[in-house]
Structure 1
């Protein structure tokens, strides 16, 4: 396996060697060269980190992670370089995952108290880390007091949910993949497109809209920085027969625009990212006119495919097209929310069959894209997990011993990764995946175009290379990825125009620039000015 010296050491060595390189030798070949000018680190990398509190860190010894555990590990997150965290649901819920809420204004007592959450928020903000919450408002729990009351037709909450009428097709397929209508013991049916335990709210009822805007504003006033919206497209998309219906899309967008107006009346800078599980970037583009961003599911699949196959295909061209479309709708560049996997998908390392070189490539693809990349907890360690869902959400491993204080034990591991896949084992290892993530995130703090640049594909005649330009007001860079296990060369004048003379960053030593030809070692990324 290719060994990887610490990236920071590479850059430091390059900085020491650079004065000895003459102008003539530099034009002939640049090897392990540092940037000739360095921007001051930004206050933010733009990277968000997804946390399942139950699996994160346990401070009271009950085997379940808690909010104080998130607070206890903020310095780890700070050292990783992330600028924000997304907490999966922390509201009271009868389930282990929390996606069926019984109180939108409360904290799950297994996780702690409101005081614990307020302390977490304050400590995160002290470190420059934003906090966004999972907001699950397409449906409630069937144990929510609203739904319990709604089962009485005379109660005002009856209109908060959708009920079958004599002409309803009770066999209709849900847009979420199962049956849409769920039965009560008395024979009545209600809409619950995810499960019988998750009755859908009816957003044609004004009181529902008012209440959910109130919920958003409540947490904004607490000081949260935004939300991740669960099942955002399913507010009105309930049945499989409605897929692709423009009228349904318009109703969804109109509601979320109203919601955004409500939360931004409290916090004008609220960041709201939606879970919109569409299969094409063209279907995602309209959402950028309603929300801050949506998760880019098609791009996640495309990046993982490129890393696995070691073939670029049309990835660079797709990046240019999607970012241009998103920017046009959002009114600003860099609006995308790319990611590799989350709590609903097989973990990246499992999708890549444990291939560490491919995992590094996937991470480099993700973290050299503008916008707000999202990292799933443990991804930076190489944690594995395949469905069913609980196996995707297993305990974070902090120490080599699985029974060390703070390790969560609510679930036994199915991945059996061992002590090597832990923060303790990887923390000081310059060859670790954790070091790779820290370095890549650090690049984002130092080079503005990685966060905010407009994307333009750079044409290369090499199927193992992905290359694209990133341009913003203060920096212009070329990002080049070698996806393959063999050294590759690229003619930088292929697209004409811009001359690149400075290797600003490189993932492993040995990147060279001779004239207009760039040569990259296997599985590496270079950033040129």
Structure 2
């Protein structure tokens, strides 16, 4: 008696018929949806979901792929298949699942050829400037996808927390603007499916790890964004969430194992006490209370100690890097995930892509805690991290304080000087991502009480300091959030691409004179970074502030004097003009004949003379 065979074919038209996100019939889903030959690890774990498939015998139709292990956990509806793809070729393979007394089930699985040089891809770095966008609030390039029949959260453009309609097509349509401004990396907040009832626009409550939310576009369109960005010299950074999912994720209706979600799948709030991870006097209970707790009831906290979930999250990140040709990852709420998992996850990704960059979010103003996560920092407990970069929250907070606080022996610009003196804690302080604001805090113009002089000082500092600068969309036109710290207000629409907009931030139409000056400053500084790379990548050397004046240099890292390239930057917080004698800086000016003020090339000083600094200003002097 012959058994009936139910065949499920995975469509892969998104990659010219050979590669992409597989269609997902309701009977069976497979993750990752495809893979590639020539990866550093020859082991691939397929997570197959389907009704009552646990305990199936699995075969594959080619000896090029060997089945190493088949396992199930607590749910009868999941199967984990470990396969060795060391000898696989770029083709489609057929897997058969057999269960006693039931019809066989088959699925096809595509393994593709990798792009040439994929492993050697260069991630974002010091030469780059990152543009962070809330895609829903940037540009509505395709109004037809503003709502989706299967998704509850419909457009509410008049509500700060509602969906406004921005999408991937809008990003593609304005890549030329980013290029003209001089940005070289694009970091959109998460674009994966968020099938939540409300507040789905921010993207951090993921319900499908392998599918772009249809209100933003498609997987193919996301890859097109990456492709067109690279054609303009703009890399694409994906915002990755390892710590939690959205409460409407299919796992919440059917968890693969009882321990898939922390705290038995029930909401228990995190303490947010990240200090517990570093406390030599602390207890394990405080560590668990931090790491295993949830942010909010709508964001279940994942248990990365489960090895199958850990593998799923690792392969998911690799899949998107390979599929969309990414230049890096930003990892949300980095330290909230299991420490051992993070060590393994970063090691595995850097093993696959040695020149990739990954930046983790650790929101603390304590550099001891921030530096703990960066590779090469060598913390006292011997923790091994392969994370290349960390968001420099200590610098962000200190920069604002340094500009706003009154100048004294211990406050004002000296706060910035003192913080930078702690850079020895980091494995590589030049690879930190620095910023004035982001999507989770008041805009930098608001933080500085809309003081335009202080804003210019802040942005000049960020674009000439050490590290990799990140600019939040709209900063270049002084977007602000006065009288409100609502995230939906902070993430307001970028003016110029919405039906009733009278101001256009892209063309400059109806911008105020101050906004035009702000945009010109950002564009000019990004041009300066490109024309004088040492300003982006050079050695940072600073002098202790004196009487409200802080001076630092960017010069060639090898430290050779007389190289004829570099810059001196002067921050003057005084309300009056300052005359600055240059002999104090003789060590940095050795071999330099003249200093030329940027962008006013007509203002030139000799290295042994003096310069005049305008009140409340940041000035850049090119060394010749």
Q: Settle same-fold status: TM greater than 0.5.
A: yes
Structure 2 counterpart of 1:394: 492
1:492 aligns with 2:612: no
Change (3 A) 1:395 1:527: same
Aligned to 1:60: 142
Matched with 1:467 is 552
Q: Alpha-carbon deviation of 1:337? A: 0.9
1:527 is aligned to 2:527 = no
Residue 455 of structure 1, CA deviation: 1.9
Equivalent residues in 2 for 1:92-491 (5 A)?
92-93=193-194, 94=196, 95-150=200-255, 156-163=256-263, 174-175=271-272, 192-222=293-323, 223-236=325-338, 252=339, 254-289=340-375, 290-309=386-405, 311=407, 312-315=412-415, 317-318=417-418, 320-326=420-426, 329-330=427-428, 334-385=430-481, 386-398=484-496, 403=499, 419=503, 423-425=507-509, 432-473=517-558, 475-491=565-581
Cα distance, 1:403 vs structure 2: 2.5
TM-score (norm 1): 0.75
Tell me how far apart the structure 2 counterparts of residues 159 and 512 of structure 1 sit (CA, whole Å).
67
**How far apart, CA to CA, are the structure 2 residues paired with 1:352 and 1:460?**
21
Deviations 1:134-188 (A, max 9, x none): 10110011111122212xxxxx3322112259xx9x98762179xxxxxxxxxxx
- 1:273 Cα deviation after fit: 0.6
Residue in 1 that maps onto 2:594: 502
Determine helix, strand or coil for the equivalent of 1:518.
Answer: strand
What residue ranges of structure 2 are gaps of 5+ in the alignment?
1-124, 147-163, 275-290, 376-385
Shift, 1:381, TM fit: 0.7
Deviation at 1:51, TM superposition (A): 1.0
**TM-score scaled to structure 2, two decimals?**
0.64
Which residue is 2:37 aligned to?
none
- Offset from partner CA, 1:428-448 (integer Å, 9 cap, x none): 979521100011111111223
Work out whether residues 399 and 416 of structure 2, in 8 Å CA contact, stay in contact via their aligned partners in 1.
no
Provide closer, same or farther for how the CA distance between residues 426 and 512 of structure 1 changes in structure 2, counting only shifts above 3 A: farther
Distance 2:135 2:618 in 1: 34
1:426–1:432 Cα contact (<8 Å) kept: no
Q: Output the aligned Cα RMSD.
A: 3.0
Residue in 2 that maps onto 1:28 = none
Instruction: State which structure, 1 or 2, has the greater radius of gyration over its C-alpha atoms.
Output: 2
SS in 2 for 1:128: coil
Q: By percentage of residues, which structure has more strand?
A: 2
Give the match for residue 187 of structure 1.
Answer: none
Shift of 1:423: 4.6
State whether residues 481 and 526 of structure 1, in contact with CA within 8 Å, keep that contact through their aligned partners in structure 2: no
Cα deviations by residue, 1:230-269 (Å, 9 ceiling, x for unpaired): 0001114xxxxxxxxxxxxxxx2x4333222322344332
Ranges in structure 1 where 5+ consecutive residues have no aligned partner: 1-42, 151-155, 178-189, 237-251, 408-417
Q: 2:176 aligns with which of 71, 75, 85?
A: 75
Secondary structure in structure 2 of the residue aligned to 1:373: strand
Q: Which deviates further from its counterpart, 510-519 or 72-81? A: 510-519
Distance (whole Å) between structure 2 residues aligned to residue 233 and residue 176 of structure 1: 10
